[in-house]
Every structure is written in structure tokens, then in C-alpha cells.
């Protein structure tokens, strides 16, 4: 597989965004965190595209505006102030966030800027109340070495996180403002990555470097990766919004396959002599009269609503619209995604999939004749409001012309399964202009001295250090580090190492919460203090370590104290005298067991006793008592 990627010269660059858990947000003093809180207030805005200083309106921005979307903001009291609602200018930037970025820049051997200037990047999807996102370049041109290969780091920026979408309904989008303004650090690598596996390795490594700063926020959605992917003779495609490492590899595989196939299609079109002029010459034709009696429900519904059906000849596209570009997605589907984006019209039919969908062979023949189709030609039909026809078919022709060059220059979105879809045109360059509300920050020798006195420790050496010191196996040490549990693990290890092995402590931190979540239990309130309290109970002989999981489960799911949970589980450690009594009871009453061979008999009795007292008595004590009783009884 690696050879295939090499053959097509796959090149991947990553743009990774990490949320930082600083004491405050980037431009105000609200705390960093998300809330379920419902107190707060709502307000509504409609965003307009502002012209940049060059007098151009960004196409992406203009489009969102055209769609006429109204935006509702919801501002939870404890996590927002007048800055998030754009009633007040930004406060001085959070220096902790900037210092983290500077430390990362040093770690990656980068050139740090002399002055940090915040810029405004236009965003008009409503994710920011101001209509722009503030971003500042911190450093340029660095590198790191991983498994003997050198990877370039192009830039590091600090920016503000966007508001989060909670609902999208009709013409309304609702955003929650708690997330708006959380500091983000954006790290962009050079396109040095040559396979999906390598991308995962690099992303993992950069994530660990961020982890080692001590400021990386944890949890779902706290990291977001944009991927730039290209192959030989293609165009760089930007895929946005990958949250998980597993998805990262899948997206690259998917895009690779897609781009290779798009280039194959371009080759066929070239051989058939199709050029941009031949596509531009075609004009969409009203074919409603041919289909007015069609048994296609979709077509009938359009006509009944007063819409018209149009057809467009695509010269040289025969068998290409039905061609699968990636997994099950055909080129025809890519055309459909474009139309949906620009007009909101749900679908189209193309000649490679017809007759079908209720459209008969006879109807196809008549359409072909009407559109004057040649041997290698294809057609597309769309039913829609006549007012949208011009736009829809211009976009079809645009996409068809892009097929001549293979891979279109566009921004795509990623889905969980790794597939990608057309998201929007690539934004123009006119998106950035200076933020005049924030004075530039001079990166003084004092600041440099300060960050150099606090360098980021190499993650690998931290992880090896944990393994060496505690005897934990390396795999588990990696997990402890990656989950951000190093401090908690060290504290637990120092306190409990005489009673519990490092492997057991790691398991309590890693496996128990995972298993609890598997049972549908929210573990977000599982703190160090709670774990410490539960482990202390074992130390004090109140119950055995086998009960730790059950206690955790009850405390977290019912929100009660450890003491109450222990009561509930009837886990109060029982006196050995009681165990002894029970053993004698079994010996005297269970003749069936006493007739068994000695070894099986012993095991059976231990089994019965353990099942009654599990977690409340040390298994070693049970074994001793049973053996003693059997000896005495004989």
C-alpha cells in the first residue's frame, strides 16, 4: 500500500488546533470550559459580508449571506461577558496562552516573530458574534525529527475558538457562546507526510508535545485537524474538521482514492477531446413536456409544485458520471453536492443511471434526441424552480470544467466514517485584516528568557521516565501520558505503591472509567480525591480491592458518598469469625460436597464462600480458613 502512495506522490500537511486550558479565555476573563447551564440570555443577529480593504467580498462569506440565515446566540451567564456578545472590545490577550505557543515554537526550532499582531479573519457562518475570528502568528519555519525523518513546521498561531452550534433548523442556527474565545493553538506542518499511517504518527507526536506543556485541554472536540492533501498532477484539497486520530487515516485514504480516480476521469476526457469551450457552449433545455407524464415521483412532485425540468448535455461524459470516485460515491454525486450547496435543490439524475427511478427508456431516448447526444455524451436533468435554473446549470458546467483538470480546488468536510463531501469554495486571500482593538505585543528578551527557563520536556523521555520509575509497562505509560493522567498517576503511585502495583493503579485510572462509560455512566466527576478516598478504604481494611469498581459505579451513577455506597453494597468487611462459622456450616450440611475428592472439595467450598463474601474478605484468609477447617474436620 505504501508503494501506491509513493507512486502517486501523496503529500499531506496537517493543521492541528488544540484548545488550551488556561485560567481565562483569550480576550476576556471568563473561565475556559463548557456548561450545561441553562441560565443566561438569548439574542438574534443577521450577519452581513463586510468588504475587505481591497474592496472584495469573500465568495464564501457572500454565499452564507445570500442564504439569509438568521442566527440565535445563547450566552450562559457564568461563561460569557460583554466580550463574547461583542458589546465590549477585547481585553488584553491571555499571556499564558501566548507563552504556551512560544514554548512550542522553541521546541520546534522556529523563528519567533518580534511583535505579535492579532488579525481579523472573516467568518460569516455566525460562529463568531463579531463576524471575524482573531488570530495571531507566533512563529514560522521550524522542524522536528521523528523516526529519523525531518518534518517541517510552517507556522504556529494563537487564535480564539468559535462558538458551538447547538441547533440548525430551517433558516435558524443556534450557537452557544461558552466555547467562544477559548484559546487555540494552531500548528501547521509542511506537506512532508507521505502516507495515512505517517499522518497519524505525526499528529500523535504533536499532540504529545502539546500534552507536555501542561496546558492541553482534554475531551472530545478539544482537538481539530484540517488536512491538506494532494497527489502528483493534482490540486491541494483542504479537508476540515477531523476530530479523531482514527478518522484522520481514513480521510486521507478516502481522499487519495478520490483524487486518483478524478485524475483518471480527466485523462479519459482529454482523450475524448473535451475542452472547456465544448462545455461552455452547451445550454440547458426545458424538457418538462417530455417528462410531464413520467412515473418518476420526484419529477412529478417538482412539476406539480410549479417547477420545471431541465436537461443539459455534457459532451464526452458518458460512463463517467456513474464512475465511482471513492467508495460508493460517483462523480454524478459530486455534481449533486455542488448543486445542493448552491441552490438547496436535493438531487439530479444523470444518463449513466437511467433508465431508472421511474424514468423510462423511451423518455431517456427522447431526452437524448432533444439534447442531440452523441456516442460519448452524457446528460444531467434537474427539476427545480425556473428562477434557480441558470445558477444550477452554471455550477454544473463549472464542476464539469473542473473535471477536465482532475481535482477541484475546494474545501471539503469530513464525516466520521472518513468520507469527505463538498463543503464550500476555497476562501479568497482577502479574508485577513488587522485587529485595531488589540495593540501589538512586543516579544521582549524577558519573555524569551522566561519561556526558555521553562522548556517543554520531550514527551518520549517523560513517558520512559514514568515506566522506569514505577515499573509500569511502556504501553500503559503511553496511555497515562496521552490521557493527561501523569500527575494523578504519580500522586497515586507515591501514596499507594506499598499496597497496589503500578499496573493496578494504571488500570483504575484507565480501564475502570472506560468500562464505566461502556455501562453508560458519566465519569466526568471522577476526581483524584474520589479515587484516593476509595483506595484509602482498602488501605484501612474496610473492603477489598475487588470492590473498587462497584463502589465507583454507585458513587458516580447515584451521586452518593463513598460511605453510603459501601453501605449499599453491604461491603463492610466482615469478621473472620463469621466466615469460619459459614465454612463449618457448609462442611456439616453439604454431604454431596464432602463426598468429592479432596482437591475438588476444597475448591468448591472456597468458591461458595467467595461468592457470598466477594470484595468483603481477603481471598487468602478464606483459603486459610477452609484448609484449616477441612483439616480439623477430618
Binding string, 190-219, against Zn ion, x = CB under 5 A? ------------------------------
Return the residues of window 84-113 that contact Zn ion according to CB under 5 A.
84
Check residue 138 for interaction with Zn ion (CB under 5 A).
no
Binding string, 260-289, against Zn ion, x = CB under 5 A? ------------------------------
Choices 26-34, 256-264, 403-411, 572-580; region in contact with Zn ion by CB under 5 A: 26-34
Query: Minimum Å distance from CB 81 to Zn ion?
Result: 3
- Which one, 84 or 255, has the nearer CB to Zn ion? 84
- Which one, 28 or 566, has the nearer CB to Zn ion? 28
- Which one, 83 or 381, has the nearer CB to Zn ion? 83
Check the CA dihedral 477-14-416-241 and report its sign: positive
Select the residue interacting with Zn ion from 10, 30, 187, 229 (CB under 5 A).
30
Q: What are phi and psi of 554, to 5 degrees?
A: -70, -45
Query: Minimum Å distance from CB 27 to Zn ion?
Result: 8
* CB-CB contact of 118 with 135 (8 Å): yes
* CB-CB contact of 609 with 586 (8 Å): yes
Three-class SS of residue 144? strand
Number of amino acids touching Zn ion (CB under 5 A): 5
Binding string, 385-404, against Zn ion, x = CB under 5 A? --------------------
- Which one, 52 or 80, has the nearer CB to Zn ion? 80
- Which one, 40 or 59, has the nearer CB to Zn ion? 40
Choices 57-65, 75-83, 189-197, 314-322; region in contact with Zn ion by CB under 5 A: 75-83
Query: Minimum Å distance from CB 219 to Zn ion?
Result: 20
Query: Minimum Å distance from CB 35 to Zn ion?
Result: 13
- Which one, 129 or 479, has the nearer CB to Zn ion? 129
Check residue 81 for interaction with Zn ion (CB under 5 A).
yes
Choices 27-35, 373-381, 437-445, 530-538; region in contact with Zn ion by CB under 5 A: 27-35
CA–CA gap between residue 234 and residue 590 (Å, rounded): 80
Check residue 83 for interaction with Zn ion (CB under 5 A).
yes
Check the CA dihedral 497-498-500-502 and report its sign: positive
| Of 454, 455, 452, the residue nearest 444 (C-alpha) | 452
Q: Which cell is 495 given?
A: 501514596
DSSP 20: B
Check residue 176 for interaction with Zn ion (CB under 5 A).
no
Q: What are phi and psi of 368, to 5 degrees?
A: -60, -40
Return the residues of window 523-552 that contact Zn ion according to CB under 5 A.
none
- Extended strands (E) in 475-594: none
DSSP 281: T
CA–CA gap between residue 594 and residue 608 (Å, rounded): 13
Select the residue interacting with Zn ion from 20, 28, 423, 571 (CB under 5 A).
28
Query: Minimum Å distance from CB 181 to Zn ion?
Result: 6
616 CB-near residues (< 8 Å, 6+ apart): 543, 544, 547, 570, 571, 572, 573, 574
- Which one, 30 or 443, has the nearer CB to Zn ion? 30
Return the residues of window 485-524 that contact Zn ion according to CB under 5 A.
none
* CB-CB contact of 353 with 359 (8 Å): no
Query: Minimum Å distance from CB 117 to Zn ion?
Result: 22
Helix axes 548-558, 528-539, angle to 10 degrees: 140
- Which one, 77 or 319, has the nearer CB to Zn ion? 77
* CB-CB contact of 108 with 155 (8 Å): no
Check the CA dihedral 153-159-160-165 and report its sign: negative
- Which one, 183 or 316, has the nearer CB to Zn ion? 183
Q: What are phi and psi of 474, to 5 degrees?
A: -60, -40
- Which one, 94 or 265, has the nearer CB to Zn ion? 94
CA–CA gap between residue 80 and residue 137 (Å, rounded): 26
* DSSP alpha helix (H) spans, 272-296: 276-280, 288-291
Query: Would you tell me which residues interact with Zn ion (CB under 5 A)?
Result: 28, 30, 81, 83-84
Amino acid at each position: 500500500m505504501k508503494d501506491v502512495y509513493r507512486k502517486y506522490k501523496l503529500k499531506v500537511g496537517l493543521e492541528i488546533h488544540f484548545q488550551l486550558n488556561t485560567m481565562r479565555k483569550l480576550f476576556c476573563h471568563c473561565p475556559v470550559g463548557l456548561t450545561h447551564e441553562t441560565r443566561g440570555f438569548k439574542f438574534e443577529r443577521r450577519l452581513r459580508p463586510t468588504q475587505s480593504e481591497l474592496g472584495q467580498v469573500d465568495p464564501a462569506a457572500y454565499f452564507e449571506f445570500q442564504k439569509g440565515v438568521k442566527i440565535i446566540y445563547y450566552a450562559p451567564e457564568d461563561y460569557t461577558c460583554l466580550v463574547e456578545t461583542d458589546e465590549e472590545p477585547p481585553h488584553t490577550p491571555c499571556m499564558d496562552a501566548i507563552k504556551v505557543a512560544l514554548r512550542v515554537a522553541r521546541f520546534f526550532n522556529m523563528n519567533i516573530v518580534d511583535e505579535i499582531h492579532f488579525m481579523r479573519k472573516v467568518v460569516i457562518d455566525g460562529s463568531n458574534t463579531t463576524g471575524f475570528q482573531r488570530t495571531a502568528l507566533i512563529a514560522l519555519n521550524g522542524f522536528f525529527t521523528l523516526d529519523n525523518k525531518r518534518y517541517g513546521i510552517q507556522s504556529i498561531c494563537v487564535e480564539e475558538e468559535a462558538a458551538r452550534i447547538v441547533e440548525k433548523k430551517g433558516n435558524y442556527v443556534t450557537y452557544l457562546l461558552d466555547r467562544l474565545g477559548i484559546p487555540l493553538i494552531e500548528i501547521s506542518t509542511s506537506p512532508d507526510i507521505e502516507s495515512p499511517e505517517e499522518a497519524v504518527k505525526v499528529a500523535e507526536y504533536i499532540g504529545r508535545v502539546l500534552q507536555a506543556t501542561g496546558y492541553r485541554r482534554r475531551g472530545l472536540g478539544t482537538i481539530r485537524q484540517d488536512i491538506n492533501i494532494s497527489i502528483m498532477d493534482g490540486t491541494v484539497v483542504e479537508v476540515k474538521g477531523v476530530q479523531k486520530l482514527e478518522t484522520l487515516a481514513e480521510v486521507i485514504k478516502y481522499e487519495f482514492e478520490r483524487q486518483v480516480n478524478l485524475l483518471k476521469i480527466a485523462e479519459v476526457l482529454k482523450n475524448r477531446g473535451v475542452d472547456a469551450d465544448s462545455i461552455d457552449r452547451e445550454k440547458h433545455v426545458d424538457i418538462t413536456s417530455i417528462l410531464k407524464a413520467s412515473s418518476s415521483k420526484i419529477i412529478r412532485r417538482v412539476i406539480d409544485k410549479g417547477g420545471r425540468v431541465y436537461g443539459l448535455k455534457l459532451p464526452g461524459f458518458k460512463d463517467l458520471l456513474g464512475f465511482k470516485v471513492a467508495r460508493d460515491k460517483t462523480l454524478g454525486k459530486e455534481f449533486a453536492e455542488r448543486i445542493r450547496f448552491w441552490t438547496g435543490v436535493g438531487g439530479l439524475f444523470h444518463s449513466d443511471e437511467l433508465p431508472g427511478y421511474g424514468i423510462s427508456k423511451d423518455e431517456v431516448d427522447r431526452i437524448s434526441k432533444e439534447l442531440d447526444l452523441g456516442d460519448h455524451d452524457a446528460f444531467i436533468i434537474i427539476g427545480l424552480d425556473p428562477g434557480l435554473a441558470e445558477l444550477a446549470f452554471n455550477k454544473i458546467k463549472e464542476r464539469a470544467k473542473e473535471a477536465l483538470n482532475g481535482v477541484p480546488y475546494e474545501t471539503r468536510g469530513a464525516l466520521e466514517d472518513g468520507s469527505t463531501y463538498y463543503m464550500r469554495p476555497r476562501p479568497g486571500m482577502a479574508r485577513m485584516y488587522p485587529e485595531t482593538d488589540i495593540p501589538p505585543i512586543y516579544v521582549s528578551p524577558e519573555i524569551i528568557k522566561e519561556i526558555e527557563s521553562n522548556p517543554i520536556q520531550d514527551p518520549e523521555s517523560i513517558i520512559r521516565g514514568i515506566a522506569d520509575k514505577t515499573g509500569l509497562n511502556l504501553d500503559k505509560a503511553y496511555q497515562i501520558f496521552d490521557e493527561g493522567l501523569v500527575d494523578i498517576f504519580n500522586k497515586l503511585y507515591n501514596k499507594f505503591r506499598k499496597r497496589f502495583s503500578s499496573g493496578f493503579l494504571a488500570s483504575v485510572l484507565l480501564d475502570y472509567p472506560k468500562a464505566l462509560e461502556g455501562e453508560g455512566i458519566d465519569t466526568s466527576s471522577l476526581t483524584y480525591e474520589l479515587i484516593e478516598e476509595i483506595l484509602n478504604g482498602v488501605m484501612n481494611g474496610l473492603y477489598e480491592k475487588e470492590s473498587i469498581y462497584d463502589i465507583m459505579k454507585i458513587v458516580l451513577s447515584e451521586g452518593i458518598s463513598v460511605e453510603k455506597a459501601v453501605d449499599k453494597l453491604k461491603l463492610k468487611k466482615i469478621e473472620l469469625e463469621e466466615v469460619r462459622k459459614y465454612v463449618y456450616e457448609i462442611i456439616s450440611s453439604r454431604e454431596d460436597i464432602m463426598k468429592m475428592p479432596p482437591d475438588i472439595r476444597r475448591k468448591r467450598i472456597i468458591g461458595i464462600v467467595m461468592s457470598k463474601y466477594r470484595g468483603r474478605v481477603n481471598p487468602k484468609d478464606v483459603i486459610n480458613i477452609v484448609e484449616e477447617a477441612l483439616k480439623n474436620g477430618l
